[in-house]
Amino acid sequence: MAKKWESLQRRMSPERQEANRRAAEQMLAAMPLDELRNARNITQTHLAQLLNITQASVSKMEKRTDMYVSTLRSFVQAMGGELEIKAVFPEGSVRIEQFSNLRKDRKETS
């Protein structure tokens, strides 16, 4: 018989509970595109419709290890998000902004 999470959690030390919370945050903070799509309850078919591509193309995109920033931005926006790119250094992070105007730059040159 399965035990309820709440009853297991109550028996954990505060330190263990905090460690579990941090681990869960880390898992949610970094995930592959397919897991992100699943976490947002969006099917490949639905995302394909939003992007005007095929479901097979969505599947291929989710498996890519390299893609254009504009492609990734479209993928994230179709799921309701915004793409931010940042450089992380030991002394802090810097948001890279030159990619934020991709669509505007494209429209101006068209």
Break the chain into its structural domains and give their ranges. Answer: 1-30, 31-109
Q: What's the CATH fold of domain 31-109?
A: 434 Repressor (Amino-terminal Domain) (1.10.260)
Record the pTM: 0.64
Residue with tokens 């591509």: 53
Lowest mean pLDDT among 6-15, 35-44, 57-66: 6-15
For residue 61, what are the CA distances in angstroms to 1, 28, 32, 77?
A: 40, 20, 11, 14
Q: Which residues contact 65 (CB under 8 A, 6 or more apart)?
A: none
Closest CA to 47 of 93, 98, 81: 81
CA atoms of 86 and 58, how far apart (whole Å): 25
pLDDT tens, 47-102?
A: 999 999 999 999 999 999 899 999 999 999 999 999 999 998 999 999 998 876 65
The Cα–Cα gap between 49 and 47 comes to: 5
